[in-house]
Amino acid sequence: MIDVHYWPTPNGKKVTILLEELDIPYRIVPVHIGRGDQFEDGFLKISPNNRMPAIVDTEPKGGGDPIAVFESGAILMYLAEKEGRFWPRDVRGRYEVAQWVMWQMANQGPKTGERGHFSRVPADQGDQSYAQRRFADETHRLYGVMNNRLYDRPYLAGEDYSIADMISYPWTASWKLQGIDLDEFKHFKRWFEDLSARPAVQRGMAVTAGLPSEDPASLSPEEQARRRALLYNQRARPAPDA
Ligand SMILES: N[C@@H](CCC(=O)N[C@@H](CS)C(=O)NCC(=O)O)C(=O)O
């Protein structure tokens, strides 16, 4: 069984999309990042960067102890390699895919994430216009990178649909909120519509953490302040032997 430590964000949905495409059983373990589940000791043992997603495979290939994997790119590689699908085995095909998975992890995810972050900074934190412009420009540039890649091939890594596409899709689902005009990127648009029509992508994007929904206004002002500090003022944690 694959346990998916999960919260329904773009990074989490990369994993559920692949699991739905693979059509293998998995179990969702909620990690409520708003209330701080990502700092619990048990979770840090499998995901030392206090971020979800992470997986635990209780039945690894070849047997033995369960295998835990954190970082969505590594998780997709692990699952694709285990199942022998969506990641070619020949060296050329393999590294076509690997470099686009790395591109997503090092560029598209972080830059569009920061674009979102700086667009939500409260007014009392001062002028954010430099950071807002910087990350809006980077987001726009990265759509251009995908568009230029997709003009002469159907998928990011070439002729075949792969984990490179699955990892990049969730961060593009809110293109409108990101200030992107799809008509400016027609090759990207064709790819986006192709993936959006896939039933497994639709199922993966719809996976919830299975917890009852919470109205933020129902939280006490103290709890709201605790949660804000927890998410936005993270600093190094002491080593366990400190
Ligand atoms: N590079 C990581 C990023 C994971 C990540 O940033 N996860 C966020 C949610 S989308 C998280 O767990 N945030 C918790 C926090 O900020 O404390 C990956 O791709 O797995």
β pairing state of 26-30 and 2-6: parallel
- Distance, in Å, from the CA atom of 211 to the CA atom of 28, rounded to the nearest integer, reads 11
- Residue 53 Cα to ligand 1 midpoint, Å, equals 7
109 lines ligand 1 (CB under 6 A): yes
Q: 30-77: per-residue pLDDT in tens?
A: 999 999 999 999 999 999 999 999 999 999 999 999 999 999 999 999
CA-based torsion, 12, 174, 17, 153: positive or negative: negative
219 DSSP 8-state letter: S
Of 89, 85, 125, nearest to 228 (Cα)?
125
Overall fold of domain 91-204: Glutathione S-transferase Yfyf (Class Pi); Chain A, domain 2 (1.20.1050)
Ligand 1 atom having least distance to the Cα of 54 = 20
- Our answer on whether the CB atom of 50 is closer than 6 Å to any ligand 1 atom is yes
Q: What does the alpha-carbon distance between residue 10 and residue 115 come to, in Å, rounded to a whole number? A: 14
Q: Is the distance from the beta carbon of residue 9 to the nearest atom of ligand 1 less than 6 Å? A: yes
Residue-wise pLDDT tens digits, 75-128:
999 999 999 999 999 999 999 999 999 999 999 999 999 999 999 998 999 999
What are the CA-CA distances from residue 143 to residues 23, 38, 178, 237 (Å)? 29, 30, 11, 36
Domain 91-204 in the same topology as domain 2-85+207-212: no
Domain spans in the chain, listed from the N-terminal domain onward: 2-85+207-212, 91-204
Neighbours of 51 (CB within 10 A): 18
Average per-residue pLDDT for the chain: 96
Residue 45's pLDDT is what?
96
Selected from 3.20.20.70, 3.40.30.10, 3.40.50.300, 3.30.70.3450, the CATH number assigned to the domain covering 2-85+207-212 reads: 3.40.30.10
